[in-house]
């Protein structure tokens, strides 16, 4: 295992558990609401039905489906003044012999006829954007059947302004990601402090099946990247790493950790390992940098890293490693001897994940601390973040630190 995170790794288990708990609360608050998801689904179903029900032969029987973060369940609410990017594939089963220009023209012509879509339409290098100028916009990529070697998932040729068509297999990538999410690292069964005092049975860690660990890790990394890129002093922000590249590298690192069979007593250490191992999965094949779609090696998510013109590839590489260094530093110094106490911890988290998101979680977390639930008997020693057992004054007259119970950690749960 790499040698980064020297400070973060020597934190107590109690501090790591608390950090994991706080991160989970932060990202639970950044999930898309049921209402937002329903609006998005309604919008892209309506577009798909409109495109499929027209007289244009190329669009006959068109099917639309989600790719990207909606499909992978790694979406988080966008930052202020930004919109959520809904990525969609428009599969055209009857356009197999058409050119890229014919396909783009047919889709554009039909969308422009619509009284709503026509006013919101914007052309992209790989399709179109319907910009609702609110919470979200729809990015639609027209695609035809892949006619090369058979592959798992749904291999496609997607339209591309630079190359006419490019190989892509978002459903194959998503299926591989889903399988990786089901892999469970080994967690040591921990006996809670309260249970130990009462000679109770071993308490297992919470079930990870409701919200998979890998989904949450991807959300954390993407949000950190977005906050990092928002910094006006960041010279790399224009070249920030794309989401699918971060997702692929983190997934490969996660699978490596699981396959290694390392045992953990908290989720925070696992996140550290995933972050450290991500760069190890950037390949170099015949002088070309490669981060391949696991279901279609020809689809290279780091394709632009190899571009020479205007030094674009070098700038993208530098941006990734600058972000990775920033991520390491953020996790390394969430809690240190110099940065102690809940207020300072939340201030540190704010710089990495955004003031608004952290402020909401801080308020909720402190409220839970003050709620003092008796059923768990777990408490936070205010000012240090250490977990301890709540005891009455009568039970221990020498207790000098104020302790108040906090809810049971249900990291990545519901």
**Residue 272, pLDDT score:** 97
Q: Residue 56 — φ and ψ, nearest 5°? A: -65, 120
**Residue 414, pLDDT score:** 34
Q: Which of 105, 101, 135, 160 is nearest to 33 (CA)?
A: 135
34-168 CATH? 3.30.460.90
**What's the rounded Cα separation, in Å, for the pair 203 and 408?**
12
In the chain, where does the domain assigned CATH 3.30.460.90 lie? Answer: 34-168
**Residue 176, pLDDT score:** 97
**Residue 2, pLDDT score:** 53
SS3 at position 382: coil
CA angle 329, 293, 308 (to 5 degrees): 70
pLDDT averages per 10-residue partition of the chain, 414 residues: 82 90 90 86 90 91 92 89 88 96 96 95 96 87 92 96 96 97 85 36 34 92 96 93 98 97 94 97 96 97 97 98 97 77 86 90 79 49 34 35 40 41
- DSSP notation for 316-330: HHHHHHHHHHHHHHH
- Residue reference for tokens 């394709």: 303
pTM comes to 0.85
């Amino acid at each position: 295992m790499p040698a980064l995170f020297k400070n973060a790794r020597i934190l107590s288990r109690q501090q790591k558990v608390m950090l994991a708990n706080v991160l989970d609360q932060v990202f639970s608050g950044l999930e898309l609401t049921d209402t937002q998801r329903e609006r998005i689904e309604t919008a892209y179903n309506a577009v798909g039905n409109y495109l499929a029900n027209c007289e244009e032969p190329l669009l006959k029987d068109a099917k639309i489906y989600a790719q990207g973060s909606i499909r992978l369940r790694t979406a988080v609410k966008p930052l202020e003044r930004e919109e959520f990017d809904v990525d969609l594939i428009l599969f055209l089963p009857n356009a197999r012999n058409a050119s890229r220009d014919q396909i783009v023209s047919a889709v554009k012509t039909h969308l422009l006829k619509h009284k709503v879509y026509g006013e919101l339409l914007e052309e992209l290098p790989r399709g179109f954007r319907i910009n609702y100028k609110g919470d979200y916009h729809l990015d639609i990529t027209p695609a035809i059947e892949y006619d090369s070697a058979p592959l798992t998932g749904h291999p496609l040729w997607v339209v591309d302004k630079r190359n006419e068509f490019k190989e892509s297999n978002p459903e194959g990538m998503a299926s591989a990601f889903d399988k990786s999410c089901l892999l469970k690292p080994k967690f040591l069964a921990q006996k809670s402090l309260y249970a130990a005092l009462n000679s109770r049975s071993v308490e297992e860690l919470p079930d990870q099946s409701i919200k998979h660990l890998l989904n949450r890790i991807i959300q954390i990394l993407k949000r950190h990247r977005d906050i990092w890129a928002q910094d006006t002093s960041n010279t790399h922000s224009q070249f920030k790493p794309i989401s699918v590249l971060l997702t692929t590298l983190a997934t490969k690192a996660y699978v490596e950790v699981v396959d290694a069979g390392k045992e953990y007593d908290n989720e925070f250490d696992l996140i550290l390992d995933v972050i450290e191992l991500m760069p190890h999965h950037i390949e170099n094949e015949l002088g070309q940098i490669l981060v391949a779609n696991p279901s279609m090696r020809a689809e290279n998510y780091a394709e632009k890293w190899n571009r020479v013109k205007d030094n674009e590839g070098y700038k993208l590489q530098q941006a990734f490693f600058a972000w990775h260094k920033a991520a390491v530093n953020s996790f390394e110094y969430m809690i240190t001897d110099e940065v102690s106490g809940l207020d300072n911890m939340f201030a540190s988290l704010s710089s990495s994940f955004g003031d608004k998101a952290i402020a909401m979680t801080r308020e909720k977390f402190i409220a839970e601390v003050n709620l003092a639930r008796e059923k768990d008997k777990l408490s936070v020693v205010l000012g240090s973040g250490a977990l301890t057992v709540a005891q009455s004054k009568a039970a221990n007259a020498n207790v000098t630190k104020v302790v108040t119970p906090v809810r049971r950690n249900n990291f990545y749960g519901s």
